């Protein structure tokens, strides 16, 4: 499964620009789903949201594809906010069951949950905003906020600020980076580097788990 994910991500630079040029509506739909799933489903924290946003932000500066920067913002900000709302509801209604049951332990990493809990305890409500820029942790924080029965209106405010900030800043960083002439000339090679960096934490985590099991 991991090999398949890595293979798909490494080929992202091949099919995404072409698909964006041929069928941008489909690409917008895929991007909405990816961002929503990463932030909304606590059992899927490994999707590389940062690198995807950075990549499509870079692509929006290239003339040969159909992606529009402002449309990406308008579409993906709601995806990020709605995803966290769903995650919050899952934590509020099913959190205790998922975190304590045997089958829940298979779906949710105890180690990542504990790290996220420490992050949440340290930063309080601000963790909802700060976690947006921390891979994996951002998927668990709204879940933990729901489990702790945070006031819904308070969560909504922090969620809106965090979701909008994350999407806009990552897309903007990608757009500014993609506008550099050297980047445009070597876009495929740089994209592979971005994807490799994004999957590196997942690979390290997998190796650590295997080492612990063998030890």
Instruction: State how far Cα 10 lies from the chain centre.
Output: 17
On whether the CB atoms of residues 134 and 49 are closer than 8 A, the answer is no
Segments of 58-110 assigned E as strands:
none
Tokens representing residue 170 in the block: 């990552």
Q: Whole-model pTM?
A: 0.77
For residue 6, how many C-alpha atoms fall within 13 Å in the half-sphere facing its CB?
12
CA pair distance 52, 34, nearest whole angstrom: 9
- Going from the first residue of the chain to its last (215 residues), give the mean pLDDT of each consecutive group of 10, the final group possibly shorter: 52 64 84 87 64 82 76 95 92 75 62 74 82 80 85 92 94 83 66 61 60 60
Domain layout of the chain by residue ranges: 13-40+49-197
Query: Which one, of 185, 138, 127, lies nearest residue 40 by Cα?
Result: 138
Whole-number pLDDT of residue 2: 47
Predicted confidence at residue 204, as pLDDT, reads 61
């Amino acid at each position: 499964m991991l090999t398949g994910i890595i293979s798909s991500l490494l080929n992202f630079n091949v099919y995404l620009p072409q698909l964006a040029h041929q069928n941008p509506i489909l690409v917008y739909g895929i991007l909405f789903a990816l961002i929503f799933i990463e932030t909304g489903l606590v059992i899927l924290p490994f999707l590389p949201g940062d690198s995807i946003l950075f990549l499509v932000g870079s692509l929006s500066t290239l003339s040969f594809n159909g992606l529009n920067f402002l449309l990406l913002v308008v579409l993906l900000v709601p995806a990020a906010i709605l995803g966290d709302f769903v995650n919050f509801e899952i934590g509020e209604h099913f959190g205790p069951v998922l975190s304590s049951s045997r089958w829940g332990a298979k779906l949710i990493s105890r180690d990542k949950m504990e790290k996220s809990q420490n992050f949440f305890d340290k930063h309080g409500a601000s963790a909802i905003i700060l976690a947006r820029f921390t891979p994996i942790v951002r998927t668990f924080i709204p879940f933990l906020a729901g489990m702790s029965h945070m006031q819904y209106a308070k969560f909504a405010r922090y969620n809106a600020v965090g979701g909008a900030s994350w999407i806009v800043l990552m897309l903007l960083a990608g757009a500014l980076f993609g506008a550099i002439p050297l980047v445009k000339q070597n876009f495929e090679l740089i994209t592979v580097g971005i994807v490799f960096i994004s999957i590196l934490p997942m690979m390290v985590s997998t190796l650590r788990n295997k080492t612990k099991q063998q030890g």
